[in-house]
Amino acid sequence: SLKSQQGLLVDFSAFPQKFIDLLQQCIEEQNKDIPRFLLQLVSSAPALDHTPVSLNVVETNPFKHLTHLSLKFLPGTDAEIKKFLANCLKCLKEDKLMLEEKLRRTEEDLTRQLSYTQQSLSEKSRELDKLKNEWTSCTTALTNKHSQELTREKERALQAQTQYQQQHEQQKKELENLHQKSIQQLQNRLSELEVINKDLTERRYKGDSTVRELKAKLSGIEDECQRAKQEVLSLRRENATLDAECHEKEKLINQLQTRVAVLEQEIKDKDQLVTRTKEVLDATQEQKVILEESTEEKQRHIEKLETTIKSLSAELLKANEIIKKLQGDLKTLMSKLKLKNTVTIQQEKLLAEKEERLQKEQKELQEMGQSLGMKEQEVCKLQEQLESTIQKLEESKQLLKTNENVITWLNRQLSEVQMAKKLDTCASTQSGGRAAASPHGMPDRPSFPSSGISHPISPLYAFQNFLEPTHSKNGSSQCPVHFNTQFSKLNRCSDAQTVTATSHPANKENGDHLGLESKYLKRKDDSIPLRGLSQNTLNS
C-alpha cells in the first residue's frame, strides 16, 4: 500500500534496509547548520493526544522540500502502555541486580589483585635495576631505526604521489581534448546527414506531387479515354511499376535512417566507456587516500609506543631510588632467589612477545610496500585500457568514413536513375512527333509481327499522341505511319541507355570502387529495368 500511495521503487524485502539508511543519513546531518535530511513528527492536534501522528523523512533542496517517506503512528491503549512500562521496570531491576553482583565480584577481585601486585612489585623492583640498562639500549636503537625508516618511506611516498598526480593530470587533459574533438566531428557529421535527409524528403515530396498531377490529369480525361481502355490499362501497369520503384526508394531512405540511429548508439556507448574509465581513475585516487590514512594511523601508533617507553623509563628511575634504599637488606633476600628465577623466566617470555610484535610491525611495513607495487600495476592496467579505448574510437571513425562513402554511392545511383528516366521521356517525345492520327481521332497502335509486339512502344508516346489537337479529323481518312524507322530509332536509343546504365557498375567492378566494399557492388540478374519496355523487346 505504501508503494502504491507514495510511488516507492523499493521491494518489500529491501524496504527495511533503505529506511535504516535514511535514518542514518538524518543522524549524520543532525549537527549541521543546514541539514539535508530531516525527521518531522507531524500531528493534526496541537498536543500529542490520542490522535494518529505521521513521521516524515524530508530532504531539503534550495527549490523544494521533498518527502521520501511518511509513516503513520497510531496511539497505544492504556493496557499496552502499562505492559510496556512494566517490561521496562523489569529490565531495569534485572540490570540493577546484575550490576550489583558485578560490583561485588570486582571488589573481591581487586582486593586480591592488590595484595598480589604489592608482593610482585616488591620483588620486581629489585629486578628492574638489572633490566634498566638493557631496556634503554634496546629502546634507543629501535627508535633510531624506526625514525630513519619512517623518514625514508615518507620521502618515497611523497615522490610517488607527486609523480602519479602529474601523470593523471596529463592523461585527463589528453582524454578531454580527444573527447571534445570527436564530439565536434560527430556533430558536424550529424548536421550534414540531416541536410541530406531533408534534400531526399524534398525530392520525395516533389515526386509525390508529380504523381498527383498526373492522376488529376487522368481524372479530367476519363470521358475521352473510354475509347482507349487498352491504352489506359498499359498506363496503369506502368504506374504500378513506378509505385514499386518509389517504395524501393523509400525503403532505401529508411535503411539510411536506421544506419544513422545505429551510429548514434555507438557514439553513446563510446561516451559510456570514457565515463567508466574516469570512474576507475577516481577509484584509484580513493584507494591512495585510504593508504595515506593507514600510514598516518601507524605513525600515531608508533608515537603511542614512544610515550609508553618514556613512562617506563620514568618508573625505572623511581625504582632505582627504591633499590638504593634497599641495598642494606640484600642478605635477607637471598632466600627469595628461587622466586626471582621464576620471575626472570616470565620476563623473558614478555621480551619474546615484544620481539614478535616488532617483527609483525616490520611485516606490515613490507605489506604496505607490496600494496604500493600492486597499485602501480593497476595504474599500468588502466593506461592499457585507455589505449584500447582510443583504438576503438579510431575504428569507429573508419566505420563512419565507410558509411559516408556508401551514402555518396547511393546518391550517385539515384542521380543515374533520374537521368535514365529523363532519357526515356526524350525518346518517347521524339517517337510521338513522327506518328499521325487515325480517322476516328485515335492514335494508331503500331504492331510488330516479326518481334511479337502487340502493345504500344511507350506509354508516354501514346499519351502525347492523345493530347495532340484533333486537326486530322478534317483531313484524309487514312494517314500512313512509318513504324519501321520509328522502331529502329527506339531500339538505338534503348541500346544507348542500356549501355550508359551498365557502364558505371562495370567500371566499378573493374576496380573503381570509390572506397566501397565488394558486397555493395555486386550485380543482380533479377534487377528491374529502368524503362517501361521489357528486356525481351529490347533484345528483339
DSSP string, 231-297: HHHHHHHHHHHHHHHHHHHHHHHHHHHHHHHHHHHHHHHHHHHHHHHHHHHHHHHHHHHHHHHHHHH
**Would residue 29 count as lying in a domain?**
yes
Residue 89 has pLDDT above 90, yes or no: yes
Interacting residues of 41 by C-beta distance below 8 A, sequence separation 6+ = 53, 54, 55
Which CA distances in Å does 182 have to 190, 268, 272, 276, 501?
12, 12, 14, 17, 40
pLDDT grade for 139, boundaries at 50, 70 and 90: confident
Cα dihedral 223, 225, 227, 233 sign: negative
**Section 122-140 average pLDDT:** 84
- The answer to whether residue 41 is domain-embedded is yes
User: What digits encode the pLDDT tens for the residues 228-246?
Assistant: 677 767 777 888 888 888 8
d(CA 459, CA 232): 9
Q: Tell me the C-alpha distance between 520 and 523, whole Å.
A: 9
Least confident of 22-36, 423-437, 464-478: 464-478
Per-residue confidence (pLDDT) for residue 485, from 0 to 100: 40
Q: Residue 536 domain-assigned? A: no
* pLDDT greater than 60 at residue 533: no
Judged against a pLDDT cut of 90, whether residue 335 lies above it is answered with no
338 part of a folded domain: no
Reported as a pLDDT band with limits 50, 70 and 90, residue 347 is confident
pLDDT at 370 over 50: yes
Residue 352 confidence class, pLDDT cut points 50, 70, 90: confident
H or E element in which residue 73 lies: strand 65-73
CATH number of 55's domain: 2.170.210.20
Residue 71 bridge partners (DSSP): 55
pLDDT of 431 > 80? The answer is no
For 177-200, how does the pLDDT look when each residue is reduced to its tens digit (9 = 90+)? 998 998 999 999 899 999 998 888
Please tell me the distance from the alpha carbon of residue 212 to that of residue 220, in angstroms, as a whole number: 13
| Contact (Cβ atoms closer than 8 angstroms) between residue 277 and residue 386 | yes
Q: In 3-state terms, the chain is what percent helix, strand and coil (to 5)? A: 75, 5, 20
Count CB neighbours of 428 within 10 A: 23
The rounded mean pLDDT for the chain is 77
In this prediction, residues 63-78 reach a mean pLDDT of: 87
Give which of 482, 486, 443, 463 is closest to 532, Cα–Cα: 463
pLDDT band at 460; cut points 50, 70, 90: very low
* pLDDT number for residue 228: 67
Q: Lowest-confidence range among 367-376, 385-394, 430-439? A: 430-439
Nearest to 313 by CA among 124, 122, 120, 132: 132
- pLDDT for position 236: 79
What is the spatial distance between Cα 347 and Cα 516, in angstroms, rounded to a whole number? 88
Domain assignment of residue 25, given as a range: 1-75
Q: Look at 6-15, 127-136, 214-223, 346-355 and tell me which has the smallest mean pLDDT.
A: 214-223
Which band of pLDDT confidence, cut at 50, 70 and 90, is reported for residue 332? confident
In contact, 460 and 428? CB cutoff 8 Å: yes
Is residue 16 over pLDDT 90?
Answer: yes
pLDDT of residue 106: 93
- Provide mean pLDDT across the span 207-226: 78
SS3 59: strand
Looking at residue 225, its pLDDT comes to 60
Residue 45 to residue 52: CA distance in whole angstroms? 9
Residue 525 has pLDDT above 50, yes or no: no
Q: What angle do CA 279, 284, 287 make, to 5 degrees?
A: 125
Write down the pLDDT at residue 47. Answer: 65
Res. 475: pLDDT tops 90:
no
pLDDT at 206 over 70: yes
Query: Which pLDDT score, from 0 to 100, does residue 492 have?
Result: 43
Report the candidate in 491, 497, 488, 433 with the shortest Cα–Cα distance to residue 460: 433
Q: Which of 73-82, 93-102, 176-185, 450-459 has the lowest mean pLDDT?
A: 450-459
| Range in 83-87, 219-223, 252-256 with the lowest mean pLDDT | 219-223
Mean pLDDT of 130-155: 87
pLDDT at 103: 94
Who has greater pLDDT, 454 or 287?
A: 287
Is residue 482 pLDDT above 80, yes or no? no
Number of domains in the chain: 1
Query: What's the pLDDT at 49?
Result: 66
Residue 409, amino acid: W
CB neighbourhood size of 39 (10 A): 15
Percent residues over pLDDT 90 in the chain: 13
